[in-house]
Amino acid sequence: MADEKTSKPWAGRFQKAADPALESFSSSVHFDRRLWRQDLRGSVAHARMLAKQGILDESEAETLVRGLERVGRELADGTLELDPAAEDIHMNVERRLYTLVGDVAGKLHSGRSRNDQVATDLALWMRDEIPRLRRVLLDLRSVLVERATGEVDVILPGYTHLQRAQPVRLAHHWLAHFEALSRDDSRLRDARARISHSPLGAGALAGTTLPLDRDATALELGFEAPARNSLDAISSRDAALELLSNTAILMIHLSRICEELVLWNSSEFGFVEMDDSFSTGSSLMPQKKNPDVAELVRGKSGRVVGDLVSLLVTMKGLPLAYNRDMQEDKEPLFDAVETACACLEVLSGTIRTLRVNRQAMAAAAADPMLLATDLAEHLVEARVPFREAHEVVGRIVAHALDAGAPLSALSRDTLTGFHPALDIDPATFFSAERSLEARSLVGGPARKAVDAALREAQRLIETTREELGATGDPA
């Protein structure tokens, strides 16, 4: 029977049927089914190439293409029920093709192995999914720029060691996260550019004796060229590892944003309040409003890092060429991309709708202790060696703490008593706004520097939007 033949293409070698436990254990159709679009694209390109090379008649190729298109429609509308006994999406497609077009379906696999078929499908899937991931990442980057544009005048403490350090603009803080996410976008773009060579035609590991035109199928599928080495083409998974690595780094960046949101949303900070639409309550305590979105994204970062580690460990001891261990490449990859997309989408909404408590941020940034470094740098401008200046200001800080007074309450005479170059007016010197405007170097928090950073961020947003285009598929 055709169905039996196509569900087990190696059946001629074996005298016994596979044990049901093995069939269930080895089946991958429950997760590789999401490759069906890429699988059909590769098969259509392969069929057309076989006809051009005289391996199939034109009529046979046309029959195969029409059959594959029918299978695609059935998969799209959900009328084709996939059979786990057929092991994977590739054999499910071929089994259905036999039913639709008869024995000519058996010619489709001429010159092709499931090894190069799977590698091609996975490469196509990654090329399709990276633009989708970049689009949702673009949304979050745009939200950060929108918030920064509207919050240039909001001042808060910058932190090191989770201790108040120096005042910064909230716009500067949002743009710091924008920069990290922009590097993530750059890594994703570069990763897609490296998925540029088609594995199709590499066969099981050593190509085929049939006169295939690998250049033709590569170009039809959107690759730059065929893979240069058949062994490497079917056994490498570094593109998947690179995408997983990029996604893991992205999730770490999202986790850091979320950690800040959790802290800022707490009563102890009170810097922000999550919108009701992106918060949850407590099943016991009616007063609670929890930042669950930020906590979940923070938690899911560990899941994606685990996806990366999973495939790294799977691949680390495999000899060339294909090994069945490599079936384990898809689930972590699919999971990481879907998880990252979901996290980006929900975090965009969370940040877009959150309320900033400007007064609480300003009050925290008004602590004169945050300007101790400014005192030291004032001494440096007066030609005092920095190490000496640091020691002098340290003694001033200790004096203020012992007196229970803020630095701004110290008199001019008190300051000059520690060093004559500190002949300043404390009332004007200990101003967060003055301090910020003095930090006008490129990359600093002064308004001029932040305005320039915003213009560059807007340029990067527009460049990415144009690159992705309406379809999200870079050229």
Please tell me the distance from the alpha carbon of residue 347 to that of residue 294, in angstroms, as a whole number: 7
419 a catalytic residue = no
Candidates 209, 208, 232, 237; CA nearest to 321 is 232
Token pair of 389 as six digits: 């200046």
Give the SS3 label for residue 166: strand
Instruction: Centre a 10 Å sphere on the Cβ of residue 418 and count the other Cβ atoms it contains.
Output: 16
Q: Considering only CA atoms, give the Rg of the chain.
A: 30
Instruction: Spot the catalytic one: 161, 267, 277, 283.
Output: 161
What distance, in Å, lies between the first and last C-alpha atoms of the chain? 45
282 a catalytic residue = yes
Dihedral sign for Cα 209, 215, 218, 219, please.
Answer: negative
Instruction: Spot the catalytic one: 177, 282, 348, 390.
Output: 282
Cross-strand bridge partners of residue 226: 198
Q: What angle do CA 426, 428, 430 make, to 5 degrees?
A: 60
Please tell me the distance from the alpha carbon of residue 200 to that of residue 214, in angstroms, as a whole number: 7
Q: Residue holding tokens 């929900």?
A: 346
Q: Residue holding tokens 């429950």?
A: 30
Please tell me the distance from the alpha carbon of residue 429 to that of residue 437, in angstroms, as a whole number: 12
Q: Residue holding tokens 């404390």?
A: 426
Token pair of 80 as six digits: 């084709």
Please tell me the number of Cα atoms within 13 Å of 112 on its side-chain side: 30
- Angstrom distances, CA of residue 231 to CA of 43, 201, 412: 21, 11, 77
Positions marked catalytic: 161, 282
